[in-house]
Amino acid sequence: MIEKADQIFVLLQHWLVSFLPAGLQPVAGVLLSVVVIVCLFPALFALAVWMERKGLGRIQNRLGPNRVGPFGLLQPIADGIKSLTKEDIVPRSADAAVHFLAPVVLVVTVFMGFAVLPMGRNMVLADMDAGLLFYFAMGASTELAVFMAGWSSRNKYSLLGAMRAVAQMISYEVVLLLSSVAVVMITGSLSLTKIVEAQNHYSWGLPHWYIFTPWGCAGFVMYAIAATAETNRSPFDLPEGESELVAGYHTEYSGFKFALFFLGEYLAMFSISGLGTTLFLGGWSAPFSWLGWVPSWIWFFSKLMLSIFVFIWMRGTLPRLRQDQLMNFAWKFVLPMCLLNLLVAGLWRFMGDGWPRWVVCSAILVLAYVGMGWGEMRRKHFGARSYRYAE
Amino acid sequence: MNPLTGYLLVAALLFSIGLAGALTRRNAILVLIGIELMLNAANLNLIAFWRYGPHPEALTGMMFAIFSIAVAAAEAAVGLGLVISIHRHAHTTDLDAMNRMRG
Amino acid sequence: MSVVFYLLAALTVAGGLAAVMLKNTVHCALALTVAFAGLALFFLDLDAQFAGFAQILVYIGAVAILVVFAILLTKGSETPKEGVYSRNWLAGLAIAAGVFAVLGWAVLQSARVLPGPEGTPTATPVVTVLDIGHALMGRYVLPLEIVALLLTAALIGAVIVAMHEKEGAK
């Protein structure tokens, strides 16, 4: 019974596909999974938008949407209908072909990332040997879509927003990759299913998730920072900072194309949270060994929604960074910490079991963190504001 | 026809397109684009030789391709850095206008 | 030769042609990414998964972005009013055509010595990422170190070359 509940979607897929002739079955199975992913995540998107508006409302001491449906739950549907019926305006001087392609490329590349995420036991669309590399390859392609959107609009705010977004995403992608490499070093595999399996052990009822190791904890924090910056979420939402750039690279988009950008942003958030869950939070494994009877996919999606909640919480709490602060933070603080974390992960791998490696690894990371923070603070001079103009 | 021949022909065509771009365009960045295409054509050759060669398990062609990708990235970074610095100095990226050694 | 091969060849060659022939520089860069993507698909078709994904990550994710950044920093995103081809474009085209003729002739000559389609290995070579890692850390460790050194040198070099040099200013 427990087994059945855990594998319900896999069994359902096998049952549905078994009606087809044997030659078509593998293709039909993949198609079915694709259709489920393409339907499921936009539904989650609607839920997340509602959560975000309600949650932000609560944080800012107001009610949030409460007119459409119970607790405003149908608000996303109303928004969707609104954006579908709006006029689709393309600026006269815009580059029509590129302007049209940009949101399509964005959504397609973001959707591709879901293909390698294990969403439950045996629930992965393409169990690739180089799954993590595939994910990052797809993640890197979204940057080009952002640039296409900004450049083709022929609007200086769009272009500035796109350049900011691309610079930010390139910088933080380095951090994202390096913090994940530590996990790859310990697991010895780029396959995401193997990474989850490596974490699916328990001692004294507690899981062996990577976040509960010194290097994993540091890596997770850096991954979370980089993930926030990659998805252009607050406090790293400079590319679409309303107060300075109207709406960034999608200023000139309206109607359904704008909805696609909005969808792409949330889908990127889901997929990057899913990857973080897989790498550091044990993927679909249960947090305690006695909770092993709960179906694995429930754990994956609960962890996913929890990370979305943290994203919303941060947006309601933290102020936006300045562009130079953003870049300095990435290159001068997070990146050196990431490189050090790689070293620590290597130490952890070769020091063997026992408590010495806990002490040594934690000590190195804490000392480096404190030392670098102290050095940065000392070099800081809070003088009068200075300006540098472009010539 | 051996499948290798097809891949080699495509790679040769791509290499020639890149060469033509590098030799005929005015803009320095377009010349770099042509060079990138040529490098990529060479990569396709390496991978095709690896796949249809007698010892794919030795990984030689694949390794060459991976190293070549890394080297091409370095080449692009330095090349584009040079173009930007030349543009700052001469206010143009037109190669026909850059015909003096004196600054 | 399968349908997939012809489709990919058409895509890649079209992307390459557009990359060197279009007027607008940004369009050229975007066409270049199409050619890169076609090549990455070629690699996947040739069972070189790792190289294919590395191609997408490095070329589309980094090199293409670098190219568009350079185009925008050199104010080259507008279509130039004067011609886009250099003065001696005819000579360049002739050289490229000559190179293609020589290469094509060599390939077709060698096709006669190669065995037919039945004589080639059809079984997919099983190459896991683990094998590649072992090869990189074992037999190819010296090239790996040299590439690391080269990339570091290129990073520093690119920063120094492109850095703003202004006297007496920070």
Residue C162 identity: A
For residue A206, the cross-strand partners are A203
- Looking at residue C145, what is its pLDDT? 92
Dist CA C60 CA C83 (whole Å) = 28
Dist CA A269 CA A49 (whole Å) = 12
- C68 at interface of B, judged by CB pairs closer than 8 A: no
Interface test with B, best of C41, C46, C75, C124 (most B CBs within 10 A): C46
Q: Where are the domains of chain B?
A: 3-90
Percent of chain C with pLDDT over 90: 16
- Looking at residue A76, what is its pLDDT? 84
Dist CA A176 CA A178 (whole Å) = 6
Residue C45 identity: D
pLDDT tens digits for range C58-100: 898 888 888 888 888 887 667 666 667 777 778 888 888 898 8
CA-based nearest residue to C18, from B37, B92, B40, B80: B37
Dist CA A111 CA A206 (whole Å) = 33
For A257, A323, A326, the CA distances from A244, given in Å and listed in that order, are: 22, 12, 16
Residues from chain C that touch A99, judged by Cβ atoms under 8 A, are: none
- Looking at residue C149, what is its pLDDT? 92
Dist CA B66 CA B50 (whole Å) = 12
- C65 at interface of A, judged by CB pairs closer than 8 A: yes
Between helix A335-350 and helix A355-379 the angle, nearest 10°, is: 170
CA-based nearest residue to A75, from A45, A104, A30: A45
- C69 at interface of A, judged by CB pairs closer than 8 A: yes
Residues from chain A that touch C53, judged by Cβ atoms under 8 A, are: 130, 133-134, 136-137
Contact A20, A29 (CB under 8 A): no
Contact A121, A284 (CB under 8 A): yes
- Looking at residue A273, what is its pLDDT? 92
**3 state DSSP class of A202:** strand
Between helix A25-59 and helix A255-280 the angle, nearest 10°, is: 100
Tell which wins on pLDDT, B103 or A9: A9
For residue A293, the cross-strand partners are none
Residue A265 CB contacts under 8 Å (≥ 6 apart), including other chains: A231, A232
Contact A224, A211 (CB under 8 A): no
| Contact across the interface for C125 and B65, Cβ inside 8 Å | no
* Residue C123: pLDDT over 50: yes
List the alpha helices (DSSP H) in A231-334.
Answer: 242-245, 255-280, 296-317, 323-328
Task: Could you please state the CATH topology (level 3) that the domain comprising B3-90 is classified under.
Answer: Helix Hairpins (1.10.287)
- A148 at interface of C, judged by CB pairs closer than 8 A: yes
In the block, tokens 């994203």 appear at A311
Q: For chain A, first and last CA: distance in Å?
A: 71
| Contact across the interface for A147 and C65, Cβ inside 8 Å | yes
Dist CA A348 CA A359 (whole Å) = 10
- Looking at residue C77, what is its pLDDT? 67
From A94-98, A334-338, B88-92, C130-134, the region with the lowest mean pLDDT: B88-92
Residue A249 C-beta-side C-alpha neighbours within 13 Å? 28
- Looking at residue C169, what is its pLDDT? 41
Dist CA C143 CA C145 (whole Å) = 5
- Looking at residue A31, what is its pLDDT? 85
* Residue C165: pLDDT over 80: no
Residue B75 CB contacts under 8 Å (≥ 6 apart), including other chains: B35, B39, C154
- C33 at interface of B, judged by CB pairs closer than 8 A: no
Q: What phi, psi does B27 have (nearest 5°)?
A: -75, 130
- Looking at residue B15, what is its pLDDT? 92
Residue A125 C-beta-side C-alpha neighbours within 13 Å? 20
Residues from chain C that touch A141, judged by Cβ atoms under 8 A, are: 56, 60-61
Residues from chain A that touch C56, judged by Cβ atoms under 8 A, are: 137-138, 140-141
Residue A106 CB contacts under 8 Å (≥ 6 apart), including other chains: A142, A145, A146, A149, A260, A261, A264
Contact C147, B69 (CB under 8 A): no
Which token pair is B44? 């396709």
| Contact across the interface for A137 and C69, Cβ inside 8 Å | no
Secondary structure in 3-state letters for B29-45: HHHHHHHHHHHHHHHHH
At C146, is the pLDDT very low, low, confident or very high (cuts 50, 70, 90)? very high
* Residue C168: pLDDT over 50: no
Q: Which residues of chain A have pLDDT under 70?
A: 241-244, 390-391
Other beta carbons within 10 Å of A223? 27
For A178, A216, C2, the CA distances from A224, given in Å and listed in that order, are: 13, 12, 44
